[in-house]
Amino acid sequence: MESLNPNFKEYVENRIKANKFMPFLGFKITQIEAGEITGELEFKEHHSQQNGYLHGGITSAILDMVEGFAAYSLVRDGDLVFTVEAKISYLNRGMGKKFFAKGWIIKPGKRFHFCEGEIWYENEIGKKIIVAKGSATMAVLAKEDLK
Amino acid sequence: MESLNPNFKEYVENRIKANKFMPFLGFKITQIEAGEITGELEFKEHHSQQNGYLHGGITSAILDMVEGFAAYSLVRDGDLVFTVEAKISYLNRGMGKKFFAKGWIIKPGKRFHFCEGEIWYENEIGKKIIVAKGSATMAVLAKEDLK
Amino acid sequence: MESLNPNFKEYVENRIKANKFMPFLGFKITQIEAGEITGELEFKEHHSQQNGYLHGGITSAILDMVEGFAAYSLVRDGDLVFTVEAKISYLNRGMGKKFFAKGWIIKPGKRFHFCEGEIWYENEIGKKIIVAKGSATMAVLAKEDLK
Amino acid sequence: MESLNPNFKEYVENRIKANKFMPFLGFKITQIEAGEITGELEFKEHHSQQNGYLHGGITSAILDMVEGFAAYSLVRDGDLVFTVEAKISYLNRGMGKKFFAKGWIIKPGKRFHFCEGEIWYENEIGKKIIVAKGSATMAVLAKEDLK
């Protein structure tokens, strides 16, 4: 996928640094490609819901991050991205020690980027178990319209 | 709305206590009614996304909590509830110092509860500004099936 | 709710006339207010799915119409509206002889209108049974950007 | 994907025959695999919305069909399937003469099947243009519970 920003990695990295909630949560971005963002989370006790599994709210927060940064990787330097709406389907319980997440663009556009995302872990025999699948609409706010 | 559990407040309170992510996030449940849960969050710097507003991931996490506990308030003692899917629409930027959230059941059922939720703040002139609106499907897992 | 078009009723009526699928389906708009559209459908056999109830696809088509025209009722003369995404939750089976639908704007905006919609019937004792609830994002395409 | 019904093709074909709305719409199922259903629609004038493109309501109706029958292809003979909720994202305008649709299961289950679906056409140079992407939750109603 082609980005409108030749320095998109740097731009996404700067947006990540400005994000205070991501380090608080413990989620880390591990790879930045044009239209595709990957990251991971080490599971800690404070990430659990009432039955000991990964909290659904963390799942949706992480999908929002990888999907949103996937959109940021395509826009021009200075343009902003904001989430219009997102849906998440919970396919399997989050029972891993480490979770992986990927967000990608299924249809780029001038005004919107349509995204999808997945969060998964590997079980004891190395099989990928998908915890949740997401789909989101990210709107582009052009720098010219910012003020 | 009628609950199948005469002690639903106690049951929801116990589920809340078992949830580790909620206190980590700083969200507090303030009211438990049958089919309706209310709570609030004092905004801290670690709740912000890259532009200083409430992170969308926190918004969706909080909606998941109030919608999920609204479903828990209706089921029998011992039944479990899990989120099948959720959608969230971001109506306004989260610019408040304190956020309020409510989750409610729009259609109770034996196998599913259909829920909605809202998160809002009051601006400087006391007007309620809705940050996000959510809709979710919560499935009931009967204690007989838990084995 | 305020419209940007003083002649919004006429504008919506013209959009309705241009729509070929609506009369084919048999759905009729009965009321046009700024930000709120109401209509109805007489149930025919060709509207049924495999168990004899109202087909879910008709339900979602009708919600798309009332939500979309609710957005059209707010924009300037000449602006276009298109559906970005829509979600629908099926609350009860569609067992009526006549169905009613309403679409309304929950948050108007310059670039998007966030909408909700409902379809229902009245059972034999006159009680309103909600068949489905929808939420959708409608984008505004300004006439200046059309060519 | 494995079906619980060795005669799943026959079962799906019978469900299709009972569906009155599908022939009225003009949509045809062309392939039935376990967990994956394909079909097509010849575009007629009565399928158009106000700007002459494929009506979004038809798109969502068709996705509901291919996703729902994909779920039917996996359940036991006699079990029923119903749509709990569905989301659709409109990626490109529906400008084709013939549309193709596919629905598939991303996660089968005992109580739910999580599905996705796509509708597309081929443009003048044979390129596949995706009109819409959907995701849906289909619930299984076991024949034992039908009474």
Q: Which 8-state DSSP code applies to residue D17?
A: H
Predicted confidence at residue B27, as pLDDT, reads: 96
DSSP-assigned letter for residue D76: P
Q: Which residues of chain A neighbour D92 with C-beta distances below 8 Å? A: 107
Mean pLDDT, all residues of chain D: 95
ipTM of the complex model: 0.94
- Rounded-to-integer distance, Cα C129 and Cα C94, Å: 9
Subunit contact B112:D87, Cβ cutoff 8 A: no
Are the Cβ atoms of B111 and D85 closer than 8 angstroms? no
Establish, for the pair of chains A and B, how many residue pairs have beta carbons separated by less than 8 Å.
113
pLDDT tens-digit readout, C106-131:
999 999 999 999 999 999 999 999 99
Three-class HEC string of B53-85: CECHHHHHHHHHHHHHHHHHCCCCCCCEEEEEE
Q: Does D90 touch chain B (CB under 8 A)?
A: no
D85 contact B CB<8A: yes
When the pLDDT of each residue in chain B is averaged and rounded to a whole number, the result is: 95
The reply to whether residue A80 touches residue B25, judged by beta carbons under 8 angstroms, is no
Q: What is the pLDDT of residue D147?
A: 66
Which of C89, C92, C114 is closest, CB to CB, to B135? C89
Q: Which of B55, B60, B62 sits opposite A86 (nearest CB)?
A: B60
Query: Given an 8 Å threshold on Cβ–Cβ distance, is A114 in contact with D89?
Result: yes
Range A31-58 average pLDDT: 92
Q: Is C111 on the interface with A (CB under 8 A)?
A: yes
User: What's the pLDDT score for residue B48?
Assistant: 87
Q: What is the pLDDT of residues B116-142, one digit of tens each?
A: 999 999 999 999 999 999 999 999 999
Residues 48-77 of A with CB under 8 A from B: 48-51, 55-58, 60-62, 64-65, 68
Q: What is the pLDDT at residue A145?
A: 85
Contact D106 A137 (CB under 8 A): no
Q: Is D142 on the interface with A (CB under 8 A)?
A: no
Whether C146 shows a pLDDT value over 80: the answer reads no
User: The whole model's pTM is what?
Assistant: 0.96
Interchain pair D111, B139: CB under 8 A = yes
What is the pLDDT, as a whole number, of residue D101?
98
Give D1-59 pLDDT, tens digit per residue. 999 999 999 999 999 998 889 999 999 999 999 999 999 999 998 898 878 899 999 99
Question: pLDDT per residue over D75-99, tens digit each?
Answer: 999 999 999 999 999 999 999 999 9
Beta carbons within 8 Å of D13's beta carbon, 6+ residues apart: D32
Scanning the structure block, which residue is given the tokens 């809202």? Answer: B118
Give percent of chain D above pLDDT 90: 88
For residue C87, report the phi and psi dihedrals to the nearest 5 degrees.
Answer: -120, 150
A107, A59 Cβ separation under 8 angstroms: no
**Residue A78 and residue A39 in contact, taking contact as beta carbons nearer than 8 Å:** no
Mean pLDDT, to the nearest integer, of A138-142?
95
Residue C145 pLDDT greater than 90, yes or no: no
Best to test chain C binding among A80, A83, A85 (most C CBs inside 10 Å): A85
Q: Rounded CA gap, B41 and B47, in Å? A: 10
The confidence score (pLDDT) of residue C127 equals 96
Print burial letters for A45-73: b (CB count within 10 Å at least 16), e (below 16): eebbbbeebbbbbbbbbbbbbbbbbbbbb
Sorted by sequence, the CB contacts under 8 Å of residue D139 that are 6+ apart come out as: B111, B112, D81, D82, D83, D84, D111, D112
| Per-residue pLDDT tens digits for C11-46 | 999 999 988 899 999 999 999 999 999 999 999 988
The pLDDT assigned to A19 comes to 87
Contact B89 C114 (CB under 8 A): yes
Judging contacts by C-beta atoms under 8 Å, the chain A residues touching residue B117 are: none
Fold of A8-145: Thiol Ester Dehydrase; Chain A (3.10.129)
Q: How many helices (H) and strands (E) does chain B have?
A: 3, 6
Which pLDDT band holds residue B49 (cuts at 50, 70, 90)?
confident
Q: In this complex, is the C-beta atom of B26 within 8 Å of any C-beta atom belonging to chain A?
A: no
Predicted pLDDT at B52: 84
| pLDDT band at residue A147 under the 50/70/90 scheme | low
Those residues whose C-beta lies under 8 Å from the C-beta of residue B68, and which sit 6 or more positions away, are A56, B81, B83, B103, B115, B136, B138
Q: Which subunits sit against A, judged by 3+ Cβ pairs under 8 A?
A: B, C, D
For the segment B64-101, what is each residue's pLDDT rounded down to a tens digit?
A: 999 999 999 999 999 999 999 999 999 999 999 999 99
- C-beta atoms surrounding B52 within 10 Å: 12
Average pLDDT of the residues in C58-74: 96
CA distance, residue D49 to nearest chain A CA (Å): 22
Smallest Cα distance from B80 to chain C, Å = 21
The domain ranges of chain C are 8-145
Token pair of B89 as six digits: 């629409």
Q: Is B50's CB within 8 Å of A18's CB?
A: yes
- Residues 6+ away with beta carbon under 8 Å from B62: A57, B25, B27, B39, B41, B99, B101, B119
Whole-Å CA distances, D129 to A48, A105, A125, C141: 41, 15, 39, 21
Q: Which residues of B touch D85 (CB under 8 A)?
A: 85, 137
Calculate how close chain C gets to A89, using CA atoms only, in Å. Answer: 13
What is the band of C147 on the pLDDT scale with cuts at 50, 70, 90? Answer: low
The answer to whether residue B95 neighbours chain A at the CB level (below 8 Å) is no
Average pLDDT over residues A60-77: 97
**pLDDT at position B146 over 90:** no
Going by pLDDT thresholds of 50, 70 and 90, the confidence category of residue A89 is very high
CA-based nearest distance B140→chain C, Å: 15
pLDDT at residue A52 in the model: 84
pLDDT average, residue stretch B29-40: 98
